[in-house]
Chain A
Amino acid sequence: MIFNKEIETMSREEMQALQLKKLKDLVTYVYSNVEFYKKKFDAAGVKPSDIKTLKDISKLPFTTKDEMRETYPYGLLACDPEALKEIHTSSGTTGTPVVAGYTENDRTLWKEVMGRCLAMAGGDEHDVVQNAYGYGMFTGGLGVHYGAEAIGASVLPISSGNTKRQLNFMKDFKSTILTCTPSYSLFMAEVAKEMGMDFREFNLRAGIFGAEPWSDNMRIEIEKKLNLKAYDIYGLTEIIGPGVSCECEAQNGLHINEDYFYPEIINPETGEVLPEGEKGELVFTTLSREGTPIIRYRTRDITWLFRDNCSCGRSTVKMHRLLGRNDDMMILRGVNVFPSQIENVLMRIEETEPHYQIVIDRSTSSLDHVELHVEVEESFFSDETKNLEKIRDMIHEEMKQALGISLDIKLVEPKSIERSMGKAKRVIDKRDIKGEA
């Protein structure tokens, strides 16, 4: 079912007209209400009246994550603080948190876009949504909760953690849709196996997974282990939280709610806008936010935009699944490596599971020493050292083929790699790069 047929199947011309009208209003709104934007627009020599076409958006300056931190808590607020009905922040583990403020209309908007996302995954009033995203300052929990309300489903606001209880409730309440991070879903599968539970006896039919990049191979693994169809959802606190885009049943790219979130792809080095189909950094402008509207936010996520004649009937633009976040990208011996590439290789090798950790060290020489820790699963454990060494060498070879660099493979005991209820911690960087350019 298409949640908002009028908008989601709109013709290109109508959509662009709607976006342009909203963009003009937005620019006027932030210019007169947010000192931060007024200063930036003035410095760039651009006025609200300069925005005559959608293409003119490229005249506006970008907003970065650092700027959002520097303006903590209310530097980007465009409304009276009393008009805020809900406040969320990013985790702030890497510094000052980023603030997202929602007016009543913003919350309605959030509910609308999340309703569309859940409907894209086939959700409706007959569903029981087990929402295992964390509830709290993190946008995941409440965002999905509002979406479940919007489609009229029952919602189990169980939040993340307490996995055994998750599985028991999943069975007892006959949950049909699971929402959590992809890595947590695989952890659930592991625990279910230990508990002697079989997902074929559950009622789950869809999983909506996000908040971290995951590969197509991981999707295959999740779908097999949890016996459901796995959908990718995308969002970020700076823009709204979850609900920016989601996959439909075609599972080929994420439809962007572009009437609210205007996407661009730019060259991350020059800032130049790239045409559809070209790979680059994803940039969003919130077209209707009242609390904390954002102009041209640089997400640091790498992907590309495309349009196809989607079998679901939606005409909204799609973004390809994330190739990785710029933040997650590691530069190992001068080669760019995304954790998702490593995950892909491990999923491809039949014997291995995607439980891994990367340890980077530069203590012994000037070259990065990169160790990939892979858990020894029962499926490939052998009483003979040569068999384990064979698998270790195979992982080494496959990684070299896929990444172009040689990693030291270390086989480790299962579960010695910390399991995550939220975003998995994949990389431990021990390099001391202070003082380096």
Chain B
Amino acid sequence: MKVKQISVFLENTTGRLAEVTRVLGTGNINLRAISIADTADFGILRLIVDTPEKTMELLKKAGFTAKITEVIGVLVNDKPGGLMKIMDIFNKEGVNIEYLYSSLINEEGDAVIIFRVEDIDHGLGIVEKAGLKAISAF
């Protein structure tokens, strides 16, 4: 099970992120997770939303360069050592992680860790083999 992530190119100028949130807000899009990678010149905003296709449409209409990438979302208990367990497995299997970020989600206190790995199918196989729960939406 893969998660659809939307990345948006942002120039490093004031108001660009606000503009994205305005587009999403007025479009009635619910944000599930968000992270920003920034360099001196530009940023890449990464989003997990409830309706990825509609979000893409809205962003493109507003003139943003955006793209859907598939990532792995792993459900973990929000307890000390939760992330460590997954990292140990990835490490053992030699999975190279490009980036990760997390989101707290439900009343039970479960968290979702979003992983971007080089070979997503390989990574997903390892997660599932280890008996961890990969989700497609949340």
Contact = CB atoms under 8 A, between A and B. Distances in A.
Contact of A383 (B11, B41, B67): B67
Contact of A381 (B5, B11, B65, B98): B65
Contacts of B66: 381
A169 B44 CA distance: 39
Given A412-B11, A413-B9, A416-B11, A382 B67 contact: yes
B63 A376 contact: no
Contacts of A320: none
Contacts of A383: 5, 7, 44, 46, 67, 69, 116
A389 interface: yes
A416 B65 CA distance: 11
B63 to A, nearest CB: 5
A413 B44 contact: no
A237 to B, nearest CB: 35
Interface residues of A, number: 18
Contacts of A385: 37, 39, 44
Contact of B41 (A377, A411, A415, A416): A411
A-side binding surface: helix, strand, loop or mixed? loop
Nearest to A386: B98
Nearest to A411: B42
A72 B10 CA distance: 49
Contacts of A413: 9-11, 16, 63-65
A378 interface: yes
Interface string B4-18: 010101110000100
Nearest to A410: B41
Contact of B63 (A377, A389, A392, A415): A415
State which size class the interface on B falls in: 20 to 34
A388 interface: yes
A361 B25 CA distance: 38
Interface string B31-49: 0000001010110101000
Nearest to A408: B41
26 contacts: A376-B42, A377-B65, A381-B7, A381-B9, A381-B65, A381-B66, A382-B67, A383-B5, A383-B46, A383-B67, A383-B69, A384-B44, A384-B98, A384-B99, A385-B37, A385-B39, A388-B42, A389-B39, A412-B11, A413-B9, A413-B11, A413-B63, A413-B64, A414-B63, A414-B64, A416-B11
Interface of B: 5, 7, 9-11, 16, 37, 39, 41-42, 44, 46, 63-67, 69, 98-99, 116
Given A381-B7, A381-B9, A381-B66, 15 more contacts: A376-B9, A376-B42, A377-B65, A381-B65, A382-B7, A384-B44, A384-B99, A385-B37, A385-B44, A388-B39, A412-B11, A413-B10, A413-B11, A414-B63, A414-B64
What are the nearest 5 A-B pairs in CB distance? A383-B7, A383-B69, A381-B65, A376-B9, A385-B37
